[in-house]
Amino acid sequence: MTTTHVKRAFKYRFYPTDEQAAELSRTFGCVRKVYNLALAARTQAWARQERVNYNTTSAMLTAWKKTEELAFLNDVSSVPLQQCLRHLQTAFTHFFAKRAKYPRFKSKKKSRKSAEYTTSGFRFRDGKLTLAKMSEPLDIVWSRPLPEGAKPSTVTVSQDSAGRWSVSMLCEDPSVKPLAATDTAVGIDVGLDHLLTLSTGEKITNPRHERRDRARLALAQRRLAKKQKGSANRARARRKVAKIHARIADRRRDGLHKLTTRLVRENQTLVIEDLTVRNMVKNRSLARAISDAAWADFRSFLEYKAVWYGREVIAVDRFFPSSKLCSACGTLQEKMPLHVRTWTCDCGTTHDRDVNAAKNLLAVGLTVTACGAGVRPQRSTPGGQSATKQETPRREP
């Protein structure tokens, strides 16, 4: 029996020299330019009902480099330029498969600054990484070691809006192996008062990372608004705002990683609700709180870690009336106002709204597992009400 190792990205901060920063900035600009040129060419060919693929755009890139107007493309490594054409091909593949929208042009100010290098575009020896067109290795802060004997297959260099430089190395990680199977299962109900409520009765507090830095963020944004557009002071003020946002995002991501890792390690089966977060954030009263809770990121982390460690994640249809169904006798309540957090069923059982929902999610999830894939609970939308996630409609201060 052959074992396949999981490919895992290891991300580190690094501090480039002035020459390296200038070279990478040129590379980012050329990558963006080539991507936009190729997208424009494919869009025009689409209007003419012509087919253009990666090979065609690669030939276009060769021709562009020979022109006087785009001769500057020869000054940077060709590897990131070819990789951005592959990324564009992947974007069109997802579009044709109806998994994504039509690819959009990259903006100089709003788009992510990044460049991807394959093995022909970098050298990794003795723990030092040197990129093409550079004479010195990057000054990387090795916050954690790479897997023993790991050799990166791709390296992605990026700079975020806060000005921080990062390098992500994709390696095979032999340490990620399926965990020993257990008979434990848990239902998970997400919320705002509590980030998670488990079917075991445990409630995990919502840390509300954005609220903790809201005053500082508001002050930085007010100062930014007063700066003259295009000035150096405005650029510095913008970076201060970006650093606060980055701090919030880092804390949120760290907390979710620790939480999802714990849940995956402790349970064999995890049952969640299939929520459409993109529709839920249209509620102006709750959009900020829902975005700060990061339910979509929680589900994403939970799913890929379950694949890593041999666990199972089951998503129950969001129209399943988990809050209105008695987990003890199965009676369905006709109405369940949003302000009701505890209620008593006709059978005499008193329920905590969120714990009851988690128990119902677990029960229907185990039923799905027993009956086979494809089984979905019936929709129940009495009274014509929207059957999205029910939460206390409390306006954020």
Catalytic residues: 189, 273, 354
Distance CA 394, CA 217 (A): 22
| 8-state DSSP, 183 | S
Contact residues for 55 (Cβ-Cβ < 8 A; gap 6+): none
Answer yes or no: are the C-beta atoms of 361 and 189 closer than 8 Å. yes
13: helix, strand or coil: strand
Find tokens 């059982």 and name the residue: 349
Distance CA 8, CA 169 (A): 8
Check residue 330 and give left, alpha or beta (phi > 0: left; psi -120 to 50: alpha): left
Distance CA 29, CA 80 (A): 11
Find tokens 């965990």 and name the residue: 179
**CA nearest to 142, candidates 153, 158, 126:** 126
Distance CA 27, CA 49 (A): 32
Answer yes or no: are the C-beta atoms of 391 and 338 closer than 8 Å. yes
How do strand 122-125 and strand 128-131 relate by DSSP bridges? Answer: antiparallel
Residues composing the chain = 397
Contact residues for 328 (Cβ-Cβ < 8 A; gap 6+): 345, 347, 349, 351
The structure tokens listed for 237 are: 């003020």
Distance CA 210, CA 246 (A): 11
Amino acid at site 246? A
Answer yes or no: are the C-beta atoms of 389 and 280 closer than 8 Å. yes
The terminus-to-terminus CA distance of the chain in angstroms comes to: 57
**CA nearest to 169, candidates 192, 182, 151:** 151
Q: How many CB atoms lie within 10 A of CB 85?
A: 24
